[in-house]
Structure 1
Amino acid sequence: MKLSRFLLVLGMLPFVKSQAIEVAPGDFEPLPAGANALLIYYQHADRSDLYQNGHKVSDNSKLSTDIGILRYVHAIGLSENLSWEPQLLVPFGQINASGDIGSLGDTRGIGDPIITAPLKWTLPTANKDVFALAPYLYFPVGSYDKNDALNLGENRWRATLQAAYIHHFSEQWALDTVAEASWVSANNDFGSTGAKLEENTRYEYQTALRYNWTPSTTFAVGGATSLARRPQWTVSISTTASPPLMGVLLSRTSSSPRCRFRPKSARISRSNKASRKAHA
C-alpha cells in the first residue's frame, strides 16, 4: 500500500494504561523512509467490576474513561531493510468514578508525555517478516495531585522496552506478537500523606491476528496479558485511503474489564522503616 508523506489518523484504540503500552495491530509495520505521521487516537470505556486479591468484590464500581492520544511519527531509512521512527505521544482525557467508588471523584488533563524511537528490521523471509525494538521514556509532567485518588499523570519516571515480531503468512494474513518490560522510579509524593510508592518490574505480552481485507481495510482480533491480570481481548477494524492517506481505527475492549487502582506489585512506604504490600 502506498503511503503519502503525511499521514493523519483519527480513531479509537485500546486505552494506553500507565502499566503497559497496548499496541494497535500493525503498529510495528515499517513506514516508508521520510514519511511523517500525525495521529489522534480516542477511546471511551466503561468499567464496573472491582477485584481485590483476585476476587470480585463489586459489580457497581463504575469507572468511565475518555482518553485521547496525540502522536507524531517521523520515519528515517537507515538502510534498505532497517528503519528508525522517532515519535512523541501526548495522552489527554478525563476519568470519572461513580457507584460504589464515587468517592474517588474525577479528573481531567494531560498524561505523562512519552518519547520512543523504534528500530524496525524487514527480514529476508518469504513474506518479509518484521522484527522491532522500541524503547519508551515517560516524562513525569502530566496532571497530578497527591490529594486526588484519580490522576492522569504518575509523578514518576517510567521506562519501557518492547520487542515485536510480525509474521506474514501471506499478503492478507499476519500475526503480531509483542513482549515488554517496564520499570518505574518511586513516587515520593503519593496520597494525602505524601507516602512513597514503589513498583516491581512489570512484564506484558500482546498478540493480534490481522486480515488485510483490501489494501485499505484491515480486521484484527487480539489480546494482552501480564503476571498481574487476566487476558483482555480486543476487536478492531482499520480503514485507510491513499492519497492522501486518511484512516479510522475502531476497537472494543472486553465488556467488563477489572478495575484496579494500584498495581499488585506496588509498595507503599509510610516511613523509611515501615512499608507494606498494597493490593488494589
Structure 2
Amino acid sequence: MTLHSWLYATLVHSAVNDVFPGDYIALPAGASSATLYHFHRKQEGAYVSGARSNGYTIDSDYLVLRVNHVLQVGSLRVAPLLVTGAARGAVDGVWPANKQRDAGGMLDTRFGVTLWPIADAAKRRWLGLTAMLIAPTGEYDGSELINPGENRWREVVMAGWVQGIAQQWTLELIGEAAWYGQNDAFAGSNTFDQRPSQALTGYLRRDVGAGHSLYVGGQLNWGGASELNGQPWRGGTRNRRLFLGGVWRVSPQWLLNGRLARDLSIDTGDRMHTEMALRVIRLFFNLKWRVCAELAEPGARVYASITRSGALQA
C-alpha cells in the first residue's frame, strides 16, 4: 500500500453542513437560538470502489456550538449564523507506524446566512436558502494524516423545503452543493484539489403530542472527485445514509434532539459505521415587542405570546 492510500482518513463522505429536522423552519423575527451539538462517530476505512481496502477504524467526538439571530429585512426573515467547535479522534487497526494515531483541536469556523422567501406558519410551509463560508481556522498539521481542520476554504449553498402534511406529519427536503479550495500542505508539501460535491437530505417526522416528535431520514451524497499534485487520485463518492431520531420539547425554550445514523452503502472513502448525535437548543425571544408566533421546531405546534419577560404563555 502506498502512503496516498491513507490520506484524508478523516474525510467523511456526507453533506458538508449537517442538517437536522427543523433547521429550515423560521423562528419569528427578533428571536435567537444557541445550539450545542455532541457527535460520537465510528468510521471504517478505507473503501475504494465499494470494497474495503484498509483495516482501520476511527473513533471521534465532536462538540459544536451554533448561534444565530433572526432579522426582518423587508418581507424576508434573515438569520446570520456562526458555527465553531472542537473535535478529537483516535485510530485503531492498520496504520503507518510513523504517523500519529490521534489528533484533536479546534474545527474550521463557519459563517453563514439563511433567508426565507416563504415562511408561512399557518400553512406549515417554509423555503429557506443558505450561503455558508468555511474558513481554514482549525488545527492542522500537514505532516500528519488526521486533523480537525482541513487547511482549505469551502463554500456551501443549500435550499431547504418544509411542508406540513395533514396534522401530524412534516416532510423536509434539503439540497446542498459545496465547492472546495486547494490544500497546498497536504501530507507534507502535496497539493490536494477536490471537485464540487452534492448532497440531498430528507426527513419525515410525526408529531406524537406535547411538542415531541419521531423521525426517519436519509441522505444521498455524490461528486467530490479529487486530484493530488494535479493528477487524478480518487473518484467521487456515492453513498447512502440512514437517520433515526426524536425531538423532546423540555420547555417552550429548551429542546433536545437525539439522532442515530449509519451508512447503508459507500463507494469511496470512510464508511460511517455508527453515529450518535445529541443536540440541545436554547431559544431566546425578542423581549421588546409582544408577538404571536407558531414555534414549529420539529413536532411542536405551540402558539405562544412572547412577553417582555421572555416567558412563553401558551
Name the structure 2 match of 1:241. Answer: 250
Give the secondary structure class of the aligned counterpart of 2:16.
coil
**Is contact 2:207–2:213 with CA below 8 Å preserved after alignment?**
yes
- Separation of aligned partners in 2, 1:209 and 1:102: 43
Q: Max radius of gyration: which structure?
A: 2
Query: Would you say 1:22 and 2:18 are equivalent positions?
Result: yes
Q: How does 1:1-280 map to 2 (within 5 A)?
A: 20-58=16-54, 60-79=55-74, 82-101=76-95, 103=97, 105-122=101-118, 127-192=123-188, 194-227=189-222, 228-243=237-252, 245-254=253-262, 260=269
**Is contact 1:219–1:237 with CA below 8 Å preserved after alignment?**
yes
Distance 1:252 1:226, change over 3 A: same
Per-residue deviation, 1:66: 0.3
* Letter of the structure 2 residue corresponding to residue 86 of structure 1: P
Per-residue deviation, 1:239: 1.0
Deviation track 1:92-120 (CA, whole Å, cap 9, x = no partner) reads 11011111247551110111000111002
Deviates more, 1:158-167 or 1:70-79: 70-79
**Is contact 1:184–1:201 with CA below 8 Å preserved after alignment?**
yes
- Separation of aligned partners in 1, 2:245 and 2:212: 11
Distance 1:32 1:125, change over 3 A: closer
* Letter of the structure 2 residue corresponding to residue 182 of structure 1: A
Aligned length: 244
Per-residue deviation, 1:223: 1.1
**Is contact 2:108–2:137 with CA below 8 Å preserved after alignment?**
yes
Deviates more, 1:127-136 or 1:115-124: 115-124
Per-residue deviation, 1:230: 1.6
- Separation of aligned partners in 1, 2:45 and 2:192: 25
Deviation track 1:43-100 (CA, whole Å, cap 9, x = no partner) reads 1122235312221235x421101011111111112356x3111110003110111112
TM-score by length of 2: 0.71
- Separation of aligned partners in 2, 1:88 and 1:172: 32
Distance 1:16 1:72, change over 3 A: farther
Distance 1:210 1:182, change over 3 A: same
**Is contact 2:15–2:199 with CA below 8 Å preserved after alignment?**
no
**Is contact 1:16–1:22 with CA below 8 Å preserved after alignment?**
no
- Separation of aligned partners in 1, 2:240 and 2:50: 13
TM-score by length of 1: 0.79
**Is contact 1:236–1:251 with CA below 8 Å preserved after alignment?**
yes
Gaps of 5+ in 1: 1-14, 262-280
Distance 1:132 1:249, change over 3 A: same
- Separation of aligned partners in 2, 1:23 and 1:255: 16
Per-residue deviation, 1:18: 8.0
**Is contact 2:120–2:126 with CA below 8 Å preserved after alignment?**
no
Per-residue deviation, 1:124: 5.8
**Is contact 2:240–2:264 with CA below 8 Å preserved after alignment?**
no
Give the secondary structure class of the aligned counterpart of 2:18.
coil
Gaps of 5+ in 2: 1-10, 223-236, 271-314
Per-residue deviation, 1:212: 1.9
State percent identity of aligned pairs.
Answer: 24
| RMSD of aligned residue pairs (Cα, Å) | 2.5
